[in-house]
Amino acid sequence: MAAWTLLEWLGAIATLIVIIGGVAAAALFFVRHRAASMAHQRRVLVGEWTNEGAVDAVEDAYVTLKLEDHLGDIVGELETPESATRLELHVFVGWMRSTLWISRFTGRGAEEMATVRLTIKENDNRLLWKLKSSSGAIRFPRRTLLWITSGRFQPPDGADQDQSS
């Protein structure tokens, strides 16, 4: 291998700096995009969601999720005709979808009942529920579409103002 000249060394160093700068810029873009996506998911998930009354439902296991933001954690409770006891919810918000853990408090401990994958769909007004695992003690829907029933609807800007003036 021949010895490099000063010009070749400077060209190699400049190329390396451009590559490192490109990788750093891409990493910064993805970190910011991920943070914005997760913040959006947190805002959308808070509220009351249900699949009860769906006329096109294949499954007959109905659920109602009541989710709230409690000091940065998405937590809540689940109502279903399948359980007479209160079921607690905890949501781990991910980049494109979230994971919902359903548990039941028993005495001093908690029993994990199910794990569900939640994906926001359509105009942020539908939530796709996919059951990933279940203890089998309570029947949950395997796959269903939930819709928001209360908690966050806001009319478009200016829609609530008088249009006659």
CA distances, 119 to each of 17, 58, 99, 128 (Å): 39, 19, 9, 5
The fold for domain 42-150 equals Lipocalin (2.40.128)
Least confident of 20-29, 42-51, 53-62, 95-104: 53-62
Residue 152's pLDDT band, with cuts at 50, 70 and 90, is: low
Residue 129 to residue 114: CA distance in whole angstroms: 12
pTM over 0.85: no
Residue 115 to residue 100: CA distance in whole angstroms: 6
Six token digits for residue 153: 């609807």
Residue 152 to residue 47: CA distance in whole angstroms: 6
Average pLDDT over residues 93-119: 90
